[in-house]
A and B are shown apart, each in its own frame.
Chain A
Amino acid sequence: MTRISRRKFLAGATLGVGGLVTGTGAATAGRPQRHVVGTRTAAATRAAERAATTVHHTLDFGGIGQAVAGVFSAAAITNLRRRPDVRYVEVDAPVHAIGQTVPWGVDRVDAEVAHASGETGSGANLAIIDTGIDSDHPDLVGNLGDGVAFVTARGRYAQPWDDDDGHGTHCAGIADAVDDSNGVVGVAGGTTLHAVKVLDKRGSGYTSDVAAGIEYVADQGWDVGSMSLGASAGTQTLQDACTYAANLGTLLVAAAGNSGGAVEYPATYDTVVAVSATDENDRLPNWSCRGPAVDLAAPGVDIYSTYAGGGYATLSGTSMACPHVSGAAAMLMATGQTASQARSTLTSSAEDVGLSSNEQGAGLLDVATAFGLDSSDDLSVDTTAPSAPSNLSTSGVTDTSVDLAWDASTSKDVDHYQVYVDGSAGPTTAVTSITVSGLSAGTSYTFTVTAVDGAGNESGASNAVTVTTTGTSAGNAAPTGTITGVTEIDDPSPHATFDVAWTASDVDGNLSTVTLTLTDDTTSGTREATSSTAVGGSSASGTTSLKAHKDEGTGHSYTVQLTVTDGSGSTGGDSTTTTEDGQ
């Protein structure tokens, strides 16, 4: 029989070697130490396993040989070193991760946003109903509470509920790896973890053992039971156990299943929160189960977490999605929410990632939103433009305004609509109609509308609509004006009085004002008089009297300025000079 080691078997399980440093491993005299015994034969491997006080792993390197990692007494080390089929004996140097990794799933559900606000699930009790939990994993021990074994770990383990597979340790780390400076951080990070071992080292177990584990969790009054397990058929015992736990106020969360078909058991029960899996692009992998029983989606592809033997691994499955939700549920129940309140909060706060309800249930787990926090720093940046609005039409048209209405974009994430007037950005609105005002009379305008989402992505333009405002156009042509004559009036007053004859015209028919000024050039530009006359239409003429006070008989010279203004503020005009006649 060919021996298949666990590590070799979990292909795709990237053990966490990157970013690790080896400790100096200072020897402590007298105390049994962790050693690795490299062997050449199966007999030597068995001898090493027997000699060990505790076996942590047996590694199979194929043609190279095998290696047994464990705790050995000094005498055992001496004896093993004498065997010709032992290749080496070395101290098992501890490795430490440099800094703490935030796995993508924890980031995607914005659990770290909740951590920053002090939400860690501290005070709640979360049971991992699985293959056990590595009882001395440095990234879990700080959160470990109790353990119970309905199936006893096979091998030499410190606890009967120790993890002889690795799966339960992985799930425990996803939900609740300690938030410290090492390894990974879990969704909760500070809730109390309990190991409920119901599955064997090959990753399977009887439904009766699982049911017993569920009953135990409920009887302890623990808040959440996380079940990264399933099968295509359930049993009455399993269903009854789930109902019992729900009645006692324990929230059960389970993996939807990996068969790609309908949601499996126990996840499909109403008393259990069923979790489907998503990848880093918020897509549902084809193997994730789906259907109306799905309650929530959570990250489940290439999830990095703790693994048995003190290490780390990257695994995929709805098994990995489930504990994301379990950790979040524990965080909510730590704040005093009941199981049903936590379930309701999780579903109402879930993020719609555009999958069907059969795929995502209420949506992707969103821990930050569940705590009323801003989750806008979502890992995935939305670069998808919404669909364009359609059927743009006009209704009311006046000389200065146009009413527009359109059919909404079919995209769900539209933030507002942007109106374009002759290609330039105009007003915006959150609804599907608007009155564009401040327009000019008798003028043709072309309107389009785009949809803009919350991330600022803008759709293509709607259909274009061209409409002409009522009334007469103000036009753009400047008016003109001409001074047709300046005559000094001889009168008995002490003032010099000039009659200025003028004409004004505007091709747009929008004359507004004629202004005449009289400036004394001899006295360096003294403004002697200003007179304005309201005019209209396309042409006007008149005579305006301008008076230079007490200038009679001075012989000063003057400038007469004619300014014609139209309705749109454009000007034109004329000027001339004249001289007081000295009389």
Chain B
Amino acid sequence: MTFITRRRIARRTVLRGLGASLALPLLDGMVPALSAQRAPNRVQRLGVVYVPNGMAMHKWTPITSGAGPEHTAFEFSPTLKALEPFRDKLVVIGGLSVARNAGDTVHARASTRFLTGVPPRENLSDSSGNGIRADISMDQVAARAFAEHTQLASLELGLDANDFAGFCDGGYSCTYTSTISWRGPTTPLPMEYNPRVVFERLFGDGGTTDAAARRARLEKNRSILDSVNAGIARLVRDLGAADRSKLQEYFEAVRDVERRIQKAEEQGDLDLPTLEQPAGIPANYEDHAKLMFDLQVLAYQADLTRVITFMMARELSGRGYPQIGVSDAHHSISHHSNDPSKLEPYSKINAYHVSLFSYYVQKLQATPDGDGSLLDHMALLFGCGMSDGNGHTPRNLPIVLVGGAARGGRYVNHPGEPSLANLHLTLLDRLGTPIEKLGDSDGKLDLLSI
């Protein structure tokens, strides 16, 4: 049990005649987030980072010599090179598939099936007019379980503007390619791409994570509420019973918010790196991506949420990457027809995404959490819902699992084309939020020995 030492004692507790926290029951809110409310070795965070349009697989697949399916001695491929410093913390997973069940192999399939295990339904109007349908995604299964512990059940982020309206690939609604997270069969979740909005959602409208400034803000709010409280008594005097109940509601709300401010004030002593509220969306892609990664690290660090999904570009993205010398549209060159002049820039984009991802992994590893780092207590998934972008191949998906969820230093190439959903079942089990079935799953992957 961690006792509160140098905290300011809440004014209310003083008024009640209690001098020290020792005499109070240890409420949840008075325990700082970093304390050992959880077993330090438990993996209880989930992260998913998605990239679109597949991979140049000949540059992705690790270079191996032995028979497999499990390889502990392997060479990092050119695309995966940036992750080499984290060899012991990751598993490269091959052989998984989203090929089962009916459905076209279009881009909408890749993004939709990635976390749900079901294909998208083509737009049909039933009498309720809602034709979009998939199923709940694995991150939302975890989010439901963790929701009571954190301020936000989950966070869905992206780098492209949301465009749920209209038709995209193959007559499917654009919703399917704009998201990978589904709260339910008909509830796709928008991926927020404005860092300012994300900041506000996490840290309120204080404008900064700086502890002193936040404390000042909370103090101001509390003064207002105290003052309001004093005034309510006067008002309530003159009212009848039925009307009092409305103001009573208000009074209760005031007290509730004050309680939460108190909690937040305690948490405010957390040592967060100072980040000022972003003004808007950074002009260039790399800054935007890194800023979003920074926000994700902060969110985990402050335990504001334990489930974050992030699309580095929407599926079917046509973005160009001039900063690495590739000015062609991503989607266009993913249809390479095995032409080396297209394969080369295609794999460069893949490597670039991986390098930005490694920036994120590095930060997670450098952030202490309990008796290890954030990365140690996390299941972080990176990959795409299709392998070769030219044929939208739904087999042998490019997947990397980073973090403490599985024994690292391996490349596992699963035989028999198990469904990707089996991996999700395994991960949910590791997170302590197991379910029986997800999409087209038919069991767990035994990652510890295979």
* A and B: bona fide binding partners: no
